[in-house]
């Protein structure tokens, strides 16, 4: 097989990159380890920055999102016993976010790929990039017991944190920066109306809680839990009781509970590898960086990488601008690090670190909470990061 850009992974990064390149007349082939149903079964975050929304529009996959997505003009922060609405729109000169689940984004992208007839191979095993530092890279994989080879110009590693792309870069090339946190998030999805029309990020001495949503009839809630906690130890009633205990009385009374459609625990981690390119292999999204979910940046940073790589590849193919290929990693990383900083900052601001932090750090955390809620500049700072910082122009 032959293509121009071979893409490993059919998560949001791979599918979005594939769709944008297809629209620009560049051939892609996507190779995915799992089945489509498996990919759609993963429940992930659901807050899209304006830049991500614009990119989905540019890719021609925004129609259902425009219809069913919820435009949010604000979020609420509960810290130190105070409740503060962040008027995102007013604080950022008119910007908002779109609440629309990653699962739905993925579903729309899969449908677009099917409709345009561009190739995508699911259930491919043993995907391997080869000759990435030569002018003729290729992928090999196995499907239905047969070996296949895809010759290409470039390889996009969109295969997530556990993917093969990052691991195929020779040892010693990548530098890894990492922070692990001493807790995880227990998430619950339920067909109940959200407790509030906007998201609520709640700091509490029992631990952080987040009230999110997927629609006016589907809620997503999270609780900070210690590492090592098991989902089976959290029957629905225990989850709801704990959530109520972390919310102010009026919200706890208003909370509508119901059976969990899904419940899972995710550890919190910050990780970045540098550079995001080696030869003709480019790392995109979770393959290169992970953020804790507190800032809702995971999917948005993946879209940010896609934005840069897509625009660079279009100039490479249309204008012969191969000089731009070396710009991808530094450009993507400048924005990634700002997203990492914000996610790390929000995680520190809102979580209970218990014995994992000393008395000084606790005082700093208290002072941060008081400062950010009490200052217009502090609120603008959080708001402009939450709605998403601007992209640089590829020129």
Binding site for ligand PHB (CB under 6 A): 45-47, 199, 210, 212, 220, 293-294, 296
201 as an active site residue: the answer is: yes
Nearer to ligand APR, 170 or 235 (CB): 170
Q: Does the footprint of ligand APR cover residue 187 (CB under 6 A)? A: no
Q: How far apart are CA 383 and CA 391, in angstroms?
A: 16
Q: Helix crossing, 328-350 with 359-374: angle to 10°? A: 100
Q: Which of 18, 298, 339, 388 binds ligand APR (CB under 6 A)?
A: 298
Q: Which of 3, 5, 9, 187 binds ligand APR (CB under 6 A)?
A: 9
- Find the catalytic residue in 138, 221, 308, 386: 386
Contact 21, 5 (CB under 8 A): yes
Nearer to ligand APR, 8 or 86 (CB): 8
Report residue 265 as tokens: 């625990």
175 as an active site residue: the answer is: no
338 as an active site residue: the answer is: no
Q: How far apart are the first and last CA of the chain?
A: 32
136 as an active site residue: the answer is: no
CB of 223 to ligand PHB, least distance (A): 12
Choose the one of ligand APR, ligand PHB, none that binds residue 163, judging by a C-beta under 5 to 8 angstroms depending on kind: ligand APR
CB of 293 to ligand PHB, least distance (A): 4
Nearer to ligand PHB, 234 or 328 (CB): 234
Choose the one of ligand APR, ligand PHB, none that binds residue 294, judging by a C-beta under 5 to 8 angstroms depending on kind: ligand PHB
CB atoms within 10 A of CB 169: 21
Q: Which range binds ligand APR by CB under 6 A, 21-29, 70-78, 130-138, 156-164? A: 156-164
Contact 287, 273 (CB under 8 A): no
Residue 281: phi and psi, rounded to 5, are -105, 130
Q: Which residues are catalytic, by number?
A: 72, 201, 293, 297, 386
């Amino acid at each position: 097989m032959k293509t121009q850009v071979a893409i490993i992974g059919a998560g949001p990064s791979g599918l979005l990159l594939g769709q944008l390149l297809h629209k620009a007349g560049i051939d892609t082939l996507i190779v995915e380890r799992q089945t489509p149903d498996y990919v759609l079964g993963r429940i992930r975050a659901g807050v899209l920055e304006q830049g991500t929304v614009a990119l989905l529009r540019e890719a021609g996959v925004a129609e259902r999102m425009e219809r069913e997505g919820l435009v949010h003009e604000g979020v609420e922060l509960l810290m130190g016993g105070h409740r503060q609405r962040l008027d995102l729109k007013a604080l950022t000169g008119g910007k908002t976010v779109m609440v629309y689940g990653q699962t739905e984004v993925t579903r729309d992208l899969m449908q677009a790929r099917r409709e345009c007839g561009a190739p995508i191979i699911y259930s491919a095993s043993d995907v391997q990039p080869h000759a990435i530092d030569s002018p003729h890279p290729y992928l090999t994989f196995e499907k239905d017991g047969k070996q296949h080879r895809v010759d290409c110009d470039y390889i996009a590693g969109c295969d997530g944190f556990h993917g093969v792309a990052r691991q195929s870069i020779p040892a010693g090339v990548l530098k890894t920066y990492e922070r692990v946190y001493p807790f995880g998030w227990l998430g619950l999805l339920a067909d109940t109306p959200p407790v509030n029309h906007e998201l609520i990020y709640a700091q509490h001495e029992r631990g952080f809680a987040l009230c999110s949503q997927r629609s006016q009839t589907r809620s997503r809630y999270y609780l900070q839990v210690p590492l090592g906690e098991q989902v089976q130890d959290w029957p629905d009633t225990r989850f709801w009781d704990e959530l109520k205990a972390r919310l102010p009385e009026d919200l706890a009374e208003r909370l509508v509970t119901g059976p969990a459609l899904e419940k899972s625990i995710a550890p919190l981690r910050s990780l970045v590898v540098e550079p995001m390119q080696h030869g003709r292999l480019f790392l995109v999204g979770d393959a290169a960086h992970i953020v804790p979910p507190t800032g809702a940046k995971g999917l948005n940073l993946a879209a940010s990488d896609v934005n840069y790589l897509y625009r660079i590849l279009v100039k490479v193919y249309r204008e012969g601008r191969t000089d731009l290929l070396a710009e991808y990693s530094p450009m993507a990383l400048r924005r990634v690090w700002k997203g990492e900083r914000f996610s790390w900052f929000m995680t520190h601001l809102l979580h209970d670190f218990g014995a994992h932090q000393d008395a000084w750090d606790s005082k700093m955390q208290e002072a941060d909470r008081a400062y950010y809620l009490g200052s217009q500049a502090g609120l603008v700072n959080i708001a402009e990061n939450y709605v998403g910082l601007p992209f640089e122009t590829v020129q």
